[in-house]
Amino acid sequence: MNEYAIKVEGLTKRFGDFTAVDAITFNVSKGEIFGFLGANGAGKTTAMRMLIGLSKPTEGTGYVAGFDIRTEAEKIKKGIGYMSQKFSLYNDLTVKENIRFYGGIYGLSKKQITKKTTEIMEELGLFEVAKKPVAALPLGWKQRLAFAVSMVHDPEIVFLDEPTGGVDPHVRRQFWETIYQQADAGRTIFVTTHYMDEAEYCDRVSIMVAGKVEALDSPDNLKNQYDSETMDEVFLKLAR
Ligand SMILES: Nc1ncnc2c1ncn2[C@@H]1O[C@H](COP(=O)(O)OP(=O)(O)OP(=O)(O)O)[C@@H](O)[C@H]1O
């Protein structure tokens, strides 16, 4: 039935006379890591807001986790994970309290929350700092914790909006190890980024230019197609 985690056709958003997202069409397979790229103002955030049920399309159709983005936005909000660039951890709560808090928001039972808290702390090696306020953690750890917390309700798809801003390539690489683990377990990852090393890590990448999807393929195919050595070069040729 739903072979795709995300299926979008002719999706359009206008603000008055201005078309911010111009008839974009693409599918994302289950378990795929899909990079959503574009220069500042290309329309990524506007498109993503429609996908996660926060904004109604002007035209076009979209299905996310099998739900219609026009009529089933509430189901989408509950069924997906979302990590924004300004991730929403509470700095003055401890690591453990943050996990428990999000478990509560997503309606997990007490038992599920306790199980999930242990699981996340084990996975991320956070036991030592469990009782420290999140403010005390290095940024890279905070990002991994925010990612873990966005999946506390075990969603089929996670949307990551520039999840690794401000950290160096080594720390980004660590974050991506966690992304791979999740994709290997069958979760679909939809990620926006400005870092071209991250674009290289995706299964497929789309590049938006002025509201349109100008290119969409695997990093290798895009490099061939645009006669480029790196994704940086591809991006510059298309989206500068
Ligand atoms: N509510 C709005 N009303 C009018 N114009 C808007 C609105 N939201 C976004 N826009 C415009 O739509 C265009 C696309 O914006 P959007 O934020 O989607 O781009 P983006 O690709 O996410 O950029 P960035 O990487 O800077 O976040 C921009 O020109 C922006 O000014």
CA dist., res. 173 & res. 168, Å (int): 9
CA dist., res. 41 & res. 207, Å (int): 12
Pocket test for ligand 1, best of 11, 13, 37, 46 (most atoms within 8 A of CB): 46
Phi/psi-derived region of residue 60, left when phi > 0, alpha when psi is between -120 and 50, beta in every other case: left
- Span from the CA of 214 to the centroid of ligand 1 (angstroms): 17
Atom of ligand 1 nearest to the CA of 49: 18
Quote the Cα angle for 199-184-120, to 5°.
Answer: 100
Residue 46 in contact with ligand 1 by CB distance below 6 A: yes
The residues, any chain, with a CB within 8 Å of residue 155's CB and separated by 6 or more, are 65, 79, 80, 81, 187
Q: Where are the beta strands (DSSP E) in 39-144?
A: 59-64, 67-68, 80-83
Residue 40 in contact with ligand 1 by CB distance below 6 A: yes
Minimal-distance CA residue to ligand 1 atom 16: 43
Place of tokens 């090696």: 125
- Span from the CA of 41 to the centroid of ligand 1 (angstroms): 5
pLDDT at 197: 87
CA dist., res. 85 & res. 64, Å (int): 21
pTM: 0.93
What's the CATH number for 31-42+80-239? Answer: 3.40.50.300
- Span from the CA of 44 to the centroid of ligand 1 (angstroms): 8
- Span from the CA of 220 to the centroid of ligand 1 (angstroms): 29
The pLDDT tens digits along the chain (240 residues) read 468 999 999 999 999 999 999 999 999 999 999 999 998 899 999 999 999 999 999 999 999 999 999 999 999 988 899 998 776 789 999 999 999 999 998 889 999 999 999 998 888 888 888 888 999 999 988 998 999 999 999 999 999 999 998 899 899 999 999 999 999 999 999 999 988 889 999 999 999 999 999 999 999 999 999 999 999 999 999 986
Q: Please state whether beta strands 59-64 and 4-15 pair in parallel, antiparallel, or not at all (unpaired).
A: antiparallel
Q: Complex ipTM, two decimals?
A: 0.95
pLDDT at 231: 95
